[in-house]
Chain A
Amino acid sequence: MRLSTPLKNLDRELARFHGRLKIGAIMVGLLATALLARAFYLQIVQHDHYIQRAENNRISLVPTAPNRGLILDRKDRILAENYSAYTLEITRAEMASLEKTLVELGKLIEITPGQLRRFRRLLSESHEFETVPLKSKLSDEEVAVLAANRYRLPGVEVKARLFRNYQAGPGMAHVVGFIGRINDRDLKRLRENGREQNYRGSAHIGKTGLEQSYEALLHGRTGFDQMETDSSGRAVRMLSRIPPVPGKDLRLFLDLELQAVAEHAFGDYLGGLVALDPNTGGVLALVSKPGFDPNLFIDGIDPETWKELNESPDRPMVNRVLRGIYPPGSTIKPLMALAGLELGLRKPSDSIVDPGYYSLPNSRHQFRDWKAGGHGVVDLRRAITQSCDTYFYRLAVDMGIDRMHDYLAKFGLGEKSGIDLDGESSGLLPSREWKQRRWNKVWYPGETVIAGIGQGYHLTTPLQLVTATAMLANGGKRIEPRLVQAVRDPLSHAWQPRPPVTHAQVPINPAHLDVVRAGMMDVMRPGGTAAAAAAGAAYTIAGKTGTAQVVGIKQGAKYDAKRLARKLQDHALFIAYAPAENPTIAIAVMVENGGHGGGTAAPIARAVFDFYLTGKRPGSMNLEANDAAAD
């Protein structure tokens, strides 16, 4: 018994061991089932989900920015073009210390304080993981130095980028405008328009001028490379490719040479000028002085230069042709005369005796003519020629402000001209209704009097003046001014003309129009207010001078004494078309502080006409051109 017990025990032990082996085996089986169940869930049940995620991991779309369309003048001279250059770019998120990196970079290549300021401004506007340019247009040596040191400068990259070059310079800045880096506001707008996807590879967008208004055509369509990438984002190979479609080229009506002539004719004066082909609405020249260098803006302007431009009393960033609003002064008189004839208030032969002033009935207040003592006996034609205020005071009172408003509105006053640039001002064409709405005040008869000579509430842009002038030239056909005459498809290379936008013809009695035109032609003849400017012209000009009073100067603006004196002078205005018999060009000129229109504005128009109609350049310009060539 004593011997058998431990033996039996050992048997029991063995049986228990085998039992536990079975339990172990069952546990192993259960856990193995769990593993396979998990594998089944991942690989069979969720397979579609995970294959998609693996594909998302693997494939990335790399956008390729399209080449931006060119902007060419009417003779295909380049106004805006692209070039490729190397840029030094910084991604803040990828570096330990931005300041240390900047110091290191400063040792390798020259970085100007201006570039640094601009960089810091861009940096403050962007997210940490965005790439911000520090210096563009690197020289070959700079590229080599940076490439050699790249390994110790994480977050620093040298990239080939497409840039925009505006070689036509400051004179064209207000027409062509400029592109700039896409900011949050641009992005928001793109998102709203559903165009965000098309800008995935683009860093720039048109900000002003044609670059802005024709952005949709100029930009082109972004291409996409479907790349296989590894976990670090490195492209391993290309899977497929949708090539980018370049933007469309623009051909303008504008003649670069004519533009230069016009700009030159301004001399030291500031102001604006716009010349149209009255038959097509094509803008032949558009000058706003002073201009600025659009190239400064492409990669973000540095704050200092921006401040300088923005706060300059000359306001170079304002396009005077588009946004400059001035009282039209006497340039409104031909339209007023036409209104008098068309509305049956005057016959060409009706004449008045001008005592040098006008008084409303039952009023002793005298509205003075610009010529003390008056013009004597004046009919409608002479009233235009001599710019007789008294004649138009009286006509205005007979017409009343409401009829005046309605008739002038047909010529586009008080309304945007519709030019293919953004940000146009609509000026102001006053009326009883307007005054009530805007100021909640009744209209006074005295206000009608001065409205008759383009003073008072009237405000017009040079664009509106030239539109109306073109209508006088073409007999009442209102065409919206436009810069672009044709668009070139980048693939077919075919130029597609842009059709003009015309409004309903304003019916005008030809006899009435002839009288007004005759008056405008007399303006340019001896005895007229701009006779001197037309002396010796090989063609006839029809024109009208004007003066816009400068009401006041902003308080606190800094001017030196000489400047101040000049700033108080009136703005000179001049509208004209030529040749008078068969007009091919209409013009509006505004010279800031130029005094009388006949003295400063008309000669500028003459220079433009001369070059456009006869090819003659101002003598002083040829000398300058030679100087420039000798440089």
Chain B
Amino acid sequence: MPPRTSHWIVRRLSHLDGILLLLVLAVLGISLAVVASASGQSPARITGHLINIGLALSVMVVMANVPPHILSKVGPPLYAAGVVLLIGVALFGEIRNGSRRWLNLGFMAFQPSELLKLALPLMLAWYFQRNEAILRAKHYSIGGLLLLVPFLLTLRQPDLGTALMLGASGFYLLFFAGLPWKAIFGGATLGAASLPVVWGMMHDYQHRRVLTLLDPTADPLGDGYHIIQSTIAIGSGGLFGKGWMQGTQNQLDFIPERTTDFIYAVFGEEFGYAGAIILVGLYLAIVARGLIIAARAPTLFGRLMAATLSLNLFTYVFVNMGMVSGILPVVGVPLPLMSYGGTALITLLLGVGILMSVASHRQLNKT
């Protein structure tokens, strides 16, 4: 390798945050082991997962090298494109499983709501950065509007899960941007009051999901089956688990979707409560590192992005684990860095890449 090239590589890699990288690699390592066990050591699944991991890590490295001030400029066009596509979905979208979420691009089906998960925080962060010096109530209202548009469009697809995740990430950004407490509590009160109305607007299958959570045994072979089997798997794991590849719920096919959304059930069964502590600990460490990066970030854009992305990641962790262990309704949310699946992993490490970019472009930006 010519010295110049190697120098270039070292420079690119120098943007990576060592601690964050180590933590992410640890979770990915666990994920690889669990996917191997859950897929019955399927070579196709394992190679697929390795390829996804490789791709996602590359994306992370690339993102870590994009300076935040350049990244912030991507926000508005990305947001605009996402909203336009969402409207397109509402008008021409393909209906699958009773909801209109997909846009057929000819070569692939695409969910614009996924795009917005990143575009919305980028847009808001860009907006608040732009108006950093003169922030007033008006700006929070406009920020709220920017959040509400994709939220409502996604809600009426209908896709409650994604809408809530979108809403959460937008809210985190507004929160870190200094949304007044009065507005927060007022909104919360308003939200609580409108719950019955929301319930009335919800679709039957959404009702069922909530009801199933309240009493999974009411329909043990239907909607309740997933929750019952995953709690059995986790509970039967005990303190230290049944051992890697030894989970009977896993190996005998009782856990549904066990390489993707329900991978925590497999993990809980085979590695027990001790494993759960370690996994949750790793997630907490990642979030903590993200929040530290946010605290040290020199620009408002960097702070807001880093803090929002960190909380976002944890929200996914909480919603997924909560669902699999039976304290939240079943929503199709993968477990960050654990679940098999390329799109989610790439999106996630893209976010981690942004975190690293914020972390490594501190000094650069100051000058």
A contact residues vs B (CB 8 Å cutoff): 6, 9-10, 13, 16-18, 20-21, 24-25, 27-29, 31-32, 34-36, 38-40, 42-44, 46-47, 49-51, 53-55, 57-58, 228-232, 236
C-alpha gap A6/B133 in the complex (Å)? 7
Q: Which residues of B contact A228 (CB under 8 A)?
A: 248, 252
3 smallest CB-CB distances across A and B, nearest first, come from A50-B235, A54-B236, A42-B235
The residue that A21 contacts in the complex, of B233, B254, B291, B327, with Cβ under 8 A, is B291
Chain B's nearest CB lies how many Å from the CB of A303?
A: 36
Q: Which residues of B contact A25 (CB under 8 A)?
A: 287-288, 291
Answer whether residue B284 sits at the interface, using C-beta atoms and an 8 A cutoff.
Answer: yes
Q: Which residues of A contact B238 (CB under 8 A)?
A: 43-44, 47, 51
B contact residues vs A (CB 8 Å cutoff): 132-133, 135, 172, 175-176, 178, 229, 231-239, 248-249, 252-254, 268-269, 272-273, 276-277, 280, 283-284, 287-288, 291, 294-295, 300, 303, 307, 310-311, 314, 317-318, 321-322, 325-327
Chain B's nearest CB lies how many Å from the CB of A299?
A: 32
Chain B's nearest CB lies how many Å from the CB of A619?
A: 72
Q: Which residues of B contact A236 (CB under 8 A)?
A: 252
CB–CB A43/B307 < 8 A: no
CB–CB A21/B294 < 8 A: yes
On whether A24 and B284 interact (CB within 8 A), knowing A35-B322, A43-B238, A47-B236, the answer reads: no
The A-B contact count (CB < 8 A) is 137
CB–CB B276/A229 < 8 A: no
User: Of all chain A residues, which has the CB nearest B314?
Assistant: A28
Dominant secondary structure of chain B at its interface with chain A: helix
CB–CB A34/B178 < 8 A: no
Chain A's nearest CB lies how many Å from the CB of B268?
A: 7
Max count, chain B CB within 10 A of own CB: residue among A25, A40, A44, A232: A25
Chain A's nearest CB lies how many Å from the CB of B264?
A: 9
CB–CB A17/B236 < 8 A: no
Max count, chain A CB within 10 A of own CB: residue among B231, B232, B234, B294: B232
On whether A43 and B272 interact (CB within 8 A), knowing A28-B311, A58-B252, the answer reads: yes
C-alpha gap A236/B251 in the complex (Å)? 10
Q: Which residues of B contact A53 (CB under 8 A)?
A: 232, 235-236
Dominant secondary structure of chain A at its interface with chain B: helix
CB–CB A230/B232 < 8 A: no
Q: Which residues of A contact B326 (CB under 8 A)?
A: 38, 42
CB–CB B276/A50 < 8 A: no
CB–CB B314/A31 < 8 A: yes
C-alpha gap A229/B253 in the complex (Å)? 10
CB–CB A28/B287 < 8 A: yes
User: Of all chain B residues, which has the CB nearest A16?
Assistant: B178
CB–CB A32/B232 < 8 A: no
On whether A21 and B176 interact (CB within 8 A), knowing A35-B321, A232-B253, the answer reads: yes
C-alpha gap A46/B268 in the complex (Å)? 14
Chain A's nearest CB lies how many Å from the CB of B315?
A: 9
CB–CB B294/A54 < 8 A: no
C-alpha gap A6/B288 in the complex (Å)? 30
CB–CB A51/B318 < 8 A: no
C-alpha gap A28/B249 in the complex (Å)? 30
Q: Which residues of A contact B236 (CB under 8 A)?
A: 47, 50-51, 53-54
On whether A35 and B178 interact (CB within 8 A), knowing A42-B235, A57-B249, A231-B254, the answer reads: no
Q: Which residues of B contact A40 (CB under 8 A)?
A: 273
Between-chain CB contacts (< 8 Å), 21 pairs: A17-B178, A20-B178, A28-B287, A31-B318, A32-B283, A34-B318, A35-B280, A35-B317, A35-B321, A38-B325, A38-B327, A39-B277, A43-B235, A43-B238, A43-B239, A47-B236, A50-B234, A51-B238, A54-B249, A57-B254, A228-B252
Q: Which residues of B contact A58 (CB under 8 A)?
A: 248-249, 252
User: Of all chain B residues, which has the CB nearest A29?
Assistant: B284
The residue that A13 contacts in the complex, of B178, B272, B291, with Cβ under 8 A, is B178
On whether A36 and B277 interact (CB within 8 A), knowing A21-B291, A51-B238, A54-B233, the answer reads: yes
Chain B's nearest CB lies how many Å from the CB of A349?
A: 90
CB–CB A46/B235 < 8 A: yes
Q: Which residues of B contact A47 (CB under 8 A)?
A: 235-236, 238-239
On whether A229 and B252 interact (CB within 8 A), knowing A25-B291, A28-B311, A39-B276, the answer reads: yes
Q: Which residues of A contact B235 (CB under 8 A)?
A: 42-43, 46-47, 49-51, 53-54
C-alpha gap A229/B239 in the complex (Å)? 25
CB–CB A42/B231 < 8 A: yes
C-alpha gap A318/B277 in the complex (Å)? 76
CB–CB B248/A36 < 8 A: no
Q: Which residues of A contact B231 (CB under 8 A)?
A: 42, 50
Q: Which residues of B contact A230 (CB under 8 A)?
A: 252-254
C-alpha gap A24/B304 in the complex (Å)? 12
On whether A43 and B268 interact (CB within 8 A), knowing A24-B307, A35-B318, A53-B232, the answer reads: yes
